């Protein structure tokens, strides 16, 4: 039982005592710089610079094991995109990035973009799975001045999904204890329909509770006042290193003679 409202809010918001030493804002900006650097890369060795950063990011961010599952899901998706590109492009592709330009053959272009997409997806997955509560990343977006109403919508969706997921697990456990899944396929089908209808009803029931907890975190009708953690020196150090590596990777083709 929850004794008071502060205990309830701690449970509802997923507040934990163990706080990571790299703040969410630094994580967001670091990943953004990496993705931007990847988008401005034209050669495989440039992508490899960012690929080498995967291991340090794993050690620094300490994501949970779901990061592996997320990457495995993204791999076939990236292959499908590559196949679609293969049948939709000409023999040669010319890419212009501001002052940079390169001509690819069809195979080069597909393999290069597949490599770039995988590295970008891995870095993004590490960022997401390193935060036990994705609400920290949403608050970091607000702290960085991202469009307030977009942040508010993300926050509402986040809380609603968490509550409905919890309800679904309780309903599923109850159904298993009552032996629903030992009955006929038709019975299981109608049970799933009832389960979905109950979830829709509970979505409206949870509205008031979710609104209360969001108000406690700074959400109001005019926007969102974030309560995200301050910048950490460790996070800023990692961000600074990634910026240097990105700049070095982008200008490197001028020194290797690939670009003139």
Mean pLDDT, the chain cut into blocks of 10 residues (260 residues total): 40 42 85 89 87 89 82 80 72 68 77 88 86 71 69 66 68 68 60 69 60 57 56 86 88 70
pLDDT at 19: 44
Question: Could you give the CA distance from residue 167 to residue 117 in angstroms, rounded to a whole number?
Answer: 35
pLDDT at 34: 92
Question: 199-229, pLDDT tens digit by residue?
Answer: 666 665 555 566 555 555 555 544 555 555 6
Question: Could you give the CA distance from residue 75 to residue 114 in angstroms, rounded to a whole number?
Answer: 9
Terminal C-alpha separation, the chain: 69
pLDDT at 25: 85
pLDDT at 75: 81
| Residues sharing a CB contact under 8 Å with residue 7, sequence separation 6 or more, in sequence order | none
Question: Could you give the CA distance from residue 70 to residue 219 in angstroms, rounded to a whole number?
Answer: 30
Question: Could you give the CA distance from residue 207 to residue 187 in angstroms, rounded to a whole number?
Answer: 31
The beta-carbon contacts of 248-256 under 8 Å, at least 24 apart in sequence, are 248/49, 249/37, 249/41, 249/46, 249/49, 249/50, 250/37, 250/40, 250/41, 250/46, 252/45, 252/46, 253/42, 253/43, 253/46, 253/100
pLDDT at 249: 86
Question: Could you give the CA distance from residue 251 to residue 259 in angstroms, rounded to a whole number?
Answer: 9
pLDDT at 33: 92
């Amino acid at each position: 039982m929850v004794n008071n409202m502060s205990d309830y809010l701690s449970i509802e918001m997923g507040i934990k005592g163990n706080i990571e030493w790299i703040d969410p804002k630094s994580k967001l900006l670091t990943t953004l710089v990496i993705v931007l650097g990847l988008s401005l890369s034209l050669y495989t060795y440039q992508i490899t610079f960012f690929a080498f950063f995967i291991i340090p990011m794993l050690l620094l961010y300490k994501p949970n094991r779901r990061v592996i599952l997320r990457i495995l899901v993204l791999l076939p998706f990236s292959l499908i995109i590559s196949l679609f590109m293969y049948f939709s492009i000409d023999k040669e592709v010319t890419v212009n990035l501001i002052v940079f330009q390169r001509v690819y053959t069809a195979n080069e272009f597909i393999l290069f973009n597949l490599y770039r997409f995988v590295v970008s997806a891995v870095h993004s997955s590490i960022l997401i799975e390193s935060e036990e509560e994705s609400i920290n990343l949403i608050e970091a977006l607000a702290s960085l001045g991202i469009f307030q109403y977009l942040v508010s919508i993300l926050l509402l969706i986040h809380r609603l999904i968490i509550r409905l997921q919890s309800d679904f697990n309780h309903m599923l456990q109850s159904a298993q204890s009552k032996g629903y899944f030992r009955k006929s396929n038709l019975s299981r089908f109608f049970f799933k329909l009832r389960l979905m209808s109950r979830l829709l009803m509970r979505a409206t029931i949870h509205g008031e509770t979710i609104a209360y907890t969001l108000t406690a975190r700074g959400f109001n009708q005019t926007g969102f006042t974030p309560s995200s953690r301050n910048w950490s020196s460790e996070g800023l150090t990692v961000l600074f290193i990634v910026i240097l590596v990105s700049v070095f990777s982008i200008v490197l083709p001028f020194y290797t003679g690939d670009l003139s």
